[in-house]
Structure 1
């Protein structure tokens, strides 16, 4: 219980919260003996605290006789205010504890819409069930804008498939995900169980916009490592748009498993054979993270069980991580 803070009652009058607690205890029991037992203090210090309070206020708050204690009119008026002050202090203390523990507040998450095709939506639901007083707000934006949003404190957390090289941000791998190829359903390779990148060398491609997406750049680089430069016919912002272009016959696309494996009658999704790029998703946040962000990351760690330790830079994930920067 708080005892040593000061409360301003009116100009030039200052009393301690302990004075208010002691006075309310005496007023409730109308007995110094009973109030002392309730507070766990001896009676002489309690009586002295009440006398000090009356001296500070310049008016008696209690009538005392050898047999009884009663409130003066000033005491009755002061009691109502004292109760409100103590209640407000308790409420403020509880609120501060909740905020400090991340049990209340807001969590702003930056992401692309395709990230929600994975487990993030379920994580947000579980987080809301565990922390119902935290407001989670989602902000869809291109990958290139998410880094700036973190630095500008517009978001607390963002999710990217390829984190930027930014030593001021912490990066954790949220979940692993494979990359496959989306083909028109009648494509010549659609009947294959798996397809190697090199077999796509003569195909037209549709791609995420290279200037916005480090993930798209990494997929292009994987094609170059396989011995060919992909012939990109169209570029879009969202992975969901890629499968629509594939269905229209405009090309093939390298897409995360969570996107390609969604059932569609006009798309054939096949895994990549041999060495292949990955679509692991990373969570980024400022350092130090706030309590709400830490709670979300903790829930993600518990739920997914595949999170690497936070690293001081995007390129410094734990050894063996398949996340490329």
Structure 2
């Protein structure tokens, strides 16, 4: 028994006419009649009473009809679901990120994505940048968001949005009155920093200090950028932080931009290739909304 047998049977049962059913199906009547006879032979019972003037369902046909309709409906539902998944209109999207990333445009992009694709469940997974490649390889996440992506040829990176770096100072700091601060002006300061072993971005900032002519004096290292401002507010040191973090209101903190040349805090979207349709849809929305530039992973 094949699906066409069920479709032909339901068409004849609806029309109670082989001629009308054939026209509706776009087939000639003899093959249609043969398919119904084949179905009846397989079932071992007639499904229709036929006369020269009328067609009617037998009791067996009447009993078979709702089951045939249900099977066809389930097949169509399964096909619609497969098409939706294939087009990325339904499913799940798992995003790996650090909490500070949400201070930028990502939250808005998640909201816009949810409005455009309400059938997709977006799940956020906070994790250090160093754990994100492993999460992608293990299929625990579909997209990772981090600064300074790893050199991994099996992953792709797209710049999600550009971001500058500034300096967070305790209120009353000697440089707080400056409109902008040269990185070299921070020589000799106590620094609170992201943990170097966990963050390529922290390494980038450390190397920028070395290029400016000094080795930063690290007094504390933490995992999250948001934790840095708390330490700065407590007067433990200064911190180089992305604009999105520095822009968050915090008592006891003064945020100033860095004078050029300065390090950057561009955020990258990292993903496996080939990407799923859901992932591709998010990347497309991100490109439309943020006009990023492609970058090699």
Q: Same fold (TM over 0.5)?
A: yes
SS at match of 2:264: coil
Give the equivalent residue in structure 2 for 1:12.
none
Output the aligned Cα RMSD. Answer: 0.9
TM-score, normalising length: structure 1:
0.90
Give the equivalent residue in structure 2 for 1:57.
43
Give the equivalent residue in structure 2 for 1:44.
30
2:159 corresponds to 1:190:
no
> Among residues 190, 196, 213, which one is paired with 1:204 in the alignment?
190
SS at match of 1:52: helix
Give the equivalent residue in structure 2 for 1:263.
249
> Among residues 294, 309, 320, which one is paired with 2:294 in the alignment?
309
Q: Which runs of 5+ in 1 are unaligned?
A: 1-14, 315-325
1:310 shift after superposition: 5.9
SS at match of 2:294: coil
1:308 shift after superposition: 2.1
Task: Give the conservation status (yes or no) of the 8 Å contact 2:233–2:251.
Answer: no
1:263 shift after superposition: 2.5
1:76 shift after superposition: 1.2
1:224-256 C-alpha deviation (Å, 9 max, x unpaired): 011100001001111111001101100000000
Distance 1:308 1:28 in 2: 57
> Among residues 78, 90, 112, which one is paired with 1:104 in the alignment?
90
> Among residues 207, 213, 220, which one is paired with 1:227 in the alignment?
213
TM-score, normalising length: structure 2:
0.98
Distance 1:152 1:75 in 2: 52
SS at match of 1:259: helix
Distance 1:186 1:36 in 2: 87
Give the equivalent residue in structure 2 for 1:250.
236
Distance 2:295 2:41 in 1: 57
Distance 2:288 2:12 in 1: 50
Give the equivalent residue in structure 2 for 1:89.
75
Q: Aligned runs of 1:272-283 on 2, under 5 Å?
A: 272-283=258-269
Q: Quick one: structure 1 residues 120 and 268, their matched pair in 2 at CA, closer, same or farther if it must change by over 3 Å? A: same
2:134 corresponds to 1:148:
yes
2:173 corresponds to 1:173:
no
2:33 corresponds to 1:32:
no
Give the equivalent residue in structure 2 for 1:323.
none
Name whichever of 108-117 and 70-79 sits farther off: 70-79
2:63 corresponds to 1:73:
no
Distance 1:304 1:153 in 2: 26
SS at match of 1:105: strand
Figure out how many residues of one structure are paired with residues of the other and give that number.
297
Give the equivalent residue in structure 2 for 1:122.
108
List 4+ stretches of structure 1 deviating above 6 A: none
Distance 2:151 2:188 in 1: 33
Distance 1:292 1:213 in 2: 28
Distance 1:273 1:25 in 2: 76
Distance 2:115 2:219 in 1: 44
Distance 2:138 2:28 in 1: 55
Distance 1:137 1:279 in 2: 24
Q: Which runs of 5+ in 2 are unaligned?
A: none
